[in-house]
Structure 1
Amino acid sequence: MNALKRINSIDMQYINMNLSYIAVTKTANSGAQMSDKKQTLYVGCALSGELYTINLSVATGELGYCAHEQLPGLQKPGGAMPLTISRDRNTLYAVSRGEPFFIAAYNIGTQGRLQHIGNTPIETNLAYIQTSIDDSYLLSASFIDHHVSTYPVQEDHRISESAKHICDISNAHMLSMSPDSTTVLATGLGKDVIYQWQWLTSQANEKAPPPLQSINQLQLPEGTGPRHIAYHPVHPIAYIIGERNGTINAVRYNASGLTLVQTDYLPDQVDAFQAADIHITPDGRFLYASEKATSTLHLFKVRSDGIIRFEKLFSTENRPRGFAITPDGNYLVAAGQFSHHISSYRIDAETGYLQFISRLAVGQSPDWVEML
């Protein structure tokens, strides 16, 4: 009953915020031009097995519905729905963690419209996917099966069934390539370890599953629960969120290995931490982290040398497992697993503070937001 009251309270909060925002901005937006540019984003909704295409107004931050569809071939929804967009911005990949397991590939057409290319059946339950810098491989992590993998990308942009696994990574949550493509990091939530490999470019260009050459492992304190990673756009620093202890761990990476340079903390809370997602603005000035138990977004300011400092927290959708920042760094969109809505926020260019803009109903249990 208390949980139901909490959910209703949060929903009413956002209804009231939305009505207030509409009242304030109605006059200002009445003369908006029809040519207003749109930012396309995609939302994975796990419990309904749906993929939503949403438009965000670049001028106002308002969210608008474009289209939605269930993943083709999905028989029973389940788990989260990891998404990723190829580096050339032409292909979207979506993972089925229900029945059966597969990776769906879509061509991205004009105005972000999706055309299904095909599915690749897989034998594992994937918690995260990302393409390599040159789009030749799909990097993935399996939390349940305790491994990370690389899948070759075929010429038709579908994912090959041939994969190379690196096993014995307890509760692997993410496999991610650094912006300079020299380093690949993985989070092992089960044993609180960060794994580092060198990406062998010469091997990767041969269209064969490339060996990842092990460089280093970094042991974090017990109970950290390393989960998702955000890379600084300039410095060789990865920010890794600790799901279980509410930390942000700044890790410097290079060819010699990994060095923990800083640990900062989300504010203390009554509920046990369920820290989830982490993203940094394109200019590297503001870092945001989501916390599911308290339904909040946390702002950290980033110094010019990459050191972070907690600044402020903001209430958001109920259980924000996933969120994303627009490529221009002006807006943030968060998804609520329990509210079945997404919300957009304007990012203040000076302070990084979030101003609520718009709210939109989507499918059941939205947990992934991907920006085109």
Structure 2
Amino acid sequence: MKRKIIFALIFAVLFAACTGRKTKKEDMDTMNKVVASATPDDMFLLVGTYTSEGGSQGIYVYKFDTETGKSDSLSLAEAVNPSYLVVSPDEKFVYAVGENGDGESTAVTFAFDKGRGVLQYLNSSNTESPGPCFIEIDKTGKSVLTANYGGGSISIFQVNDDGTLSSADPVIGFEGSGPDTTRQESSHLHSVRFSPDGKFLFAADLGTDKIYRYNAIGSVFEGQPVLSQASLKEFSTPAGTGPRHFDFYPNGKYFYLLGELSGDVIVYDYDGGDLKEKQVIATDSVEGLRGSADIHVSPDGKFLYASNRLKADGIAIFSIDPDDGTLAKAGYQPTGRHPRNFVITPNGKLLLVASRDDNKIQVFTINNETGLLTDTGQDINVSKPVCLKFATM
């Protein structure tokens, strides 16, 4: 038996040498060297994907240079349809949705070994509602929430001391519909985020044309509900908006909502949890676009970007008036097919686009004066990328 094991090991090494394939130890050594060579400009880039069509296997981890746009592949954590990710405040854990159907939809916990750039699976918990498409964590790192598109609900999980997730409790459901009988036949929660100060939780409901707001009063970990149900307030958007994603201005004074169905950005004054609509502006002139996806304000507050899919795939670019937060069109950047998600580097120099149907992540430079984008040509090839997140190295 010992001789067989020895011969097998010798054969594996010789085979790897002859074919150019690396052993696991060689892969690990290479990965460790890549992480060890990191500079202050380098960050981890985490990529969530769809795996149901084959090709992708889960969450991919890269080293990414936020100055040059160059990247190095580090590792893969296998998961089923991890279509949205969030990193814990202390960056020790990464949480992902498993965007699946009834009985198979989950929130998944990974420990993040930053020394090696590796995600290690810890546990998964059923969302008790189908189609989770967004995941959020509170500032304390003690509560994780998912927005469940298929179930029209929000699932809340306790974060245990070891980073794992409890069972979903409570699961808050919503009812209602909108004028679009195909897309708005019922509630479809599409995103859920805490306000910058952590005092409020906002949720966008594509199905009912509403934004929901709760007072965030604590953590289920501490024996309290993370939300005060009595504090629920609803803000109605124009009929047929289809609220999807939203972002806050850096100083917290303005709130920007992207309508998936209308293709509009709605600008609100934001004050103490209240929203006051002040502007509606189209992301593109293509009629019947119905595929707007993601929205982000640049770190310096000078520009706003919004992605469009299905027709005229690309990124709409707006300049922001610093005096009142209103938008003016600055340009439009064509991208690969289906830019479902994008991210801006913390230094504000690069914008990365997950072009799902072209199986690549495009890297653009941002002109600090105009906000316009230039393709660096440094694509990251990965199957079905749909979520991009950064973490420090």
TM-score bucket of the superposed structures, by smaller chain: 0.7 to 0.9
Among residues 272, 297, 304, which one is paired with 2:315 in the alignment? Answer: 297
Q: Which residue of 1 aligns with 2:48?
A: 44
Output the CA distance in 2 between the equivalents of 1:367 and 1:35: 26
SS in 2 for 1:321: strand
User: Are residues 151 and 252 of structure 1, via their aligned partners in 2, closer, same or farther at CA, if it must alter by over 3 Å?
Assistant: farther
Q: Which residue of 2 aligns with 1:102?
A: 106
Q: Which residue of 2 aligns with 1:320?
A: 339
Q: Which residue of 1 aligns with 2:257?
A: 240
Among residues 124, 129, 140, which one is paired with 1:124 in the alignment? Answer: 129
User: Greater Rg, structure 1 or structure 2?
Assistant: 2
Read off the aligned partner of 1:66 and give its amino acid letter.
L
Q: CA deviation at 1:298?
A: 1.0
Asked if 1 retains the 8 angstrom alpha-carbon contact of 2:255 and 2:275, the reply is no
**Unaligned residue ranges in structure 2 (runs of 5+):** 1-36, 176-186
Read off the aligned partner of 2:129 and give its amino acid letter.
T
RMSD value, Cα: 2.0
User: Which structure carries more relative contact order (alpha carbon 8 Å, separation 6+)?
Assistant: 1
Output the CA distance in 1 between the equivalents of 2:155 and 2:371: 36
1:288-367 maps to which residues of 2 (within 5 A)?
Answer: 288-293=305-310, 294-305=312-323, 306-357=325-376, 358-363=378-383, 365-367=384-386
User: Are residues 112 and 171 of structure 1, via their aligned partners in 2, closer, same or farther at CA, if it must alter by over 3 Å?
Assistant: farther
Q: Which residue of 2 aligns with 1:251?
A: 268
User: Are residues 211 and 110 of structure 1, via their aligned partners in 2, closer, same or farther at CA, if it must alter by over 3 Å?
Assistant: closer
Q: Percent identity?
A: 26
Matched, 1:62 2:70: yes
Read off the aligned partner of 1:359 and give its amino acid letter.
D
SS in 2 for 1:338: helix
Deviating beyond 6 angstroms after TM superposition, the runs of 4 or more aligned structure 1 residues are none
User: Are residues 102 and 112 of structure 1, via their aligned partners in 2, closer, same or farther at CA, if it must alter by over 3 Å?
Assistant: farther
User: Are residues 187 and 112 of structure 1, via their aligned partners in 2, closer, same or farther at CA, if it must alter by over 3 Å?
Assistant: farther
Q: Which residue of 1 aligns with 2:155?
A: 149
Read off the aligned partner of 2:43 and give its amino acid letter.
Q
Q: Which residue of 2 aligns with 1:216?
A: 233
Asked if 1 retains the 8 angstrom alpha-carbon contact of 2:304 and 2:317, the reply is yes
Deviations 1:129-175 (A, max 9, x none): 01011111112211110111321111111111142122115101111
Output the CA distance in 2 between the equivalents of 1:192 and 1:49: 34
Output the CA distance in 1 between the equivalents of 2:174 and 2:67: 47
Matched, 1:206 2:226: no
Deviations 1:45-88 (A, max 9, x none): 113341111222233112332222322xxxxx45x611111122
Output the CA distance in 2 between the equivalents of 1:130 and 1:216: 20
* Larger CA deviation: 258-267 vs 289-298: 258-267
Size of the alignment, in residue pairs? 331
Output the CA distance in 1 between the equivalents of 2:371 and 2:226: 40
Asked if 2 retains the 8 angstrom alpha-carbon contact of 1:189 and 1:226, the reply is yes
User: Are residues 57 and 255 of structure 1, via their aligned partners in 2, closer, same or farther at CA, if it must alter by over 3 Å?
Assistant: closer
Output the CA distance in 2 between the equivalents of 1:326 and 1:148: 29
Q: Which residue of 1 aligns with 2:14?
A: none
Q: Which residue of 1 aligns with 2:9?
A: none
Q: Which residue of 1 aligns with 2:85?
A: 83
User: Are residues 43 and 35 of structure 1, via their aligned partners in 2, closer, same or farther at CA, if it must alter by over 3 Å?
Assistant: closer
User: Are residues 106 and 249 of structure 1, via their aligned partners in 2, closer, same or farther at CA, if it must alter by over 3 Å?
Assistant: same
Asked if 2 retains the 8 angstrom alpha-carbon contact of 1:120 and 1:161, the reply is no
TM-score scaled by structure 2?
Answer: 0.79
Asked if 2 retains the 8 angstrom alpha-carbon contact of 1:215 and 1:255, the reply is no
Output the CA distance in 2 between the equivalents of 1:215 and 1:257: 12
TM-score scaled by structure 1?
Answer: 0.83
User: Are residues 35 and 210 of structure 1, via their aligned partners in 2, closer, same or farther at CA, if it must alter by over 3 Å?
Assistant: closer
Output the CA distance in 2 between the equivalents of 1:315 and 1:256: 35
Deviations 1:232-280 (A, max 9, x none): 1103322110001111112233447321122111121145230001111
Output the CA distance in 1 between the equivalents of 2:342 and 2:274: 30
Q: CA deviation at 1:200?
A: 0.9
Read off the aligned partner of 1:143 and give its amino acid letter.
Y
Q: Which residue of 1 aligns with 2:171?
A: 165
Output the CA distance in 1 between the equivalents of 2:74 and 2:124: 26
User: Are residues 134 and 256 of structure 1, via their aligned partners in 2, closer, same or farther at CA, if it must alter by over 3 Å?
Assistant: closer
Asked if 2 retains the 8 angstrom alpha-carbon contact of 1:188 and 1:194, the reply is yes
Deviations 1:318-343 (A, max 9, x none): 10001111111111111111111111
Asked if 2 retains the 8 angstrom alpha-carbon contact of 1:63 and 1:359, the reply is no
Output the CA distance in 2 between the equivalents of 1:147 and 1:162: 12
